[in-house]
Amino acid sequence: MIAITLGTRPEIIKMAPIIRECEQQSIDYYLIHSGQHYSFEMDQTFFDELRLPRPQYNLNAGSGSHAAQTGKIMAGVESLLLENPPEFILVQGDTNTVLAAALAASKLHKPIGHVEAGLRCFDRRLPEEINRVVTDHISDYLFAPTPEAVKNLKNEGIDQNKIHLTGNTIVDAVHQNVQISCRNYDVLEQFGLKSKEFFLVTFHRPENVDSPATLCELLNGLNAIYDEFSMPVVFPMHPRTKKQMTAMGLSPGSIHIIDPVGYLEFLQFEAHARCILTDSGGIQEESCILGVPCVTVRKNTERPETLLVGANILSDCSSGEMVEKTHEMLERKPDWVNPFGDGNAARNIVNILDHSG
């Protein structure tokens, strides 16, 4: 029996291949939805869209301070593990859900498997870095997506017998979900776009959207890119970011702001974009897998593999550098080798646990 814990949509996406693999191999499991970002009621459509079974347990943790949210999830997970003891608990990534579930399992001496272990941006000011480091050091099975992640774990003195190079489940997810998307959506027709003739933008990190000066600079940079390349700049903007932009009196200029779209629709946007500008870790991976150039507007990244293969480049938020880095990415041929595995990560992970049980 495997307990699979998730609480945000990126976790659902990356755990989906493992859930499907458990179903295929008839391995018993149950799902714990923490409700870190959304209540389960809001996520029901998302599970249906990805053709996943709905979680058996919902903690409805909601928002709050890091301590309050982590504590609430930890207490809920502890109660469920006592009520329905699993052989293993799986967590994925670097959220408060991951840290809370791992801590609860550790104190009950339940074996923990950390999916996407070993990622590091080496900036302890970021809560995600704290979450992933602590989780790695209390986990029993570290499912590292790349050799770089393996190296990070070994450098921190973690027992190499706990470390397994499996590939990243995001590769499995992209391949599986693109097929579902193509059967249900046609975003090019819906939004009047042509393949490889538009830029796709997504920014959500507080350091980029909470400061008026930074957000203004970002918008100026995106407008400069529109002026330089004469291609639509499509920005599915979160309501919170849009509200802040309006409150700050900032104009979108030539940027084509649209309402947020579903994950399957967004995958199509990614696949057809000429280039993506983002601050998202998951989108850095997806663009790399899909063969789409990426400009990451951040000081660092926990996905250095995308930089090493030439699929991604870092930029600050100044107009000049954003245009320069976009030029550089457009000049590269998208013929890099995907560093995140062959699409069999979920099978590798489930097989390791099955042989350990």
Q: Give buried/exposed letters for 168-186 (b at 16+ CB in 10 A, else e).
A: bbbbbbbebbbeebeeebe
DSSP letter (8 states) at residue 162 = G
C-alpha to C-alpha distance for 169 and 285, rounded to whole angstroms: 11
Provide the residue type at 64 as one letter: G
Nearest to 252 by CA among 230, 222, 231: 222
Give 311-317 contacts, CB < 8 A, sequence gap 24+.
311/287, 311/336, 312/284, 312/287, 312/288, 317/208, 317/214, 317/217, 317/218, 317/221
How buried is residue 12: exposed, middle or buried, by Cβ count under 10 Å (0-12/13-18/19+)? buried
How far is Cα of residue 249 from the mean position of the Cα atoms in its chain?
A: 31
Q: Indicate if 137 belongs to the active site.
A: no
Alpha helices in 251-331 (DSSP H): 263-272, 281-290, 304-308, 319-331
**Would the CA dihedral through 18, 22, 27, 28 be positive or negative?**
positive
Cα Dmax for the chain = 60
**Catalytic choice (33, 114, 164, 204):** 204
- The residue assigned the tokens 């790695």 is 136
DSSP 3-state of 101? helix
Write phi, then psi, for 45 (nearest 5 degrees).
Answer: -65, -35
Work out the number of other CB atoms within 10 angstroms of the CB of residue 320: 11
Active-site residues: which are they?
204
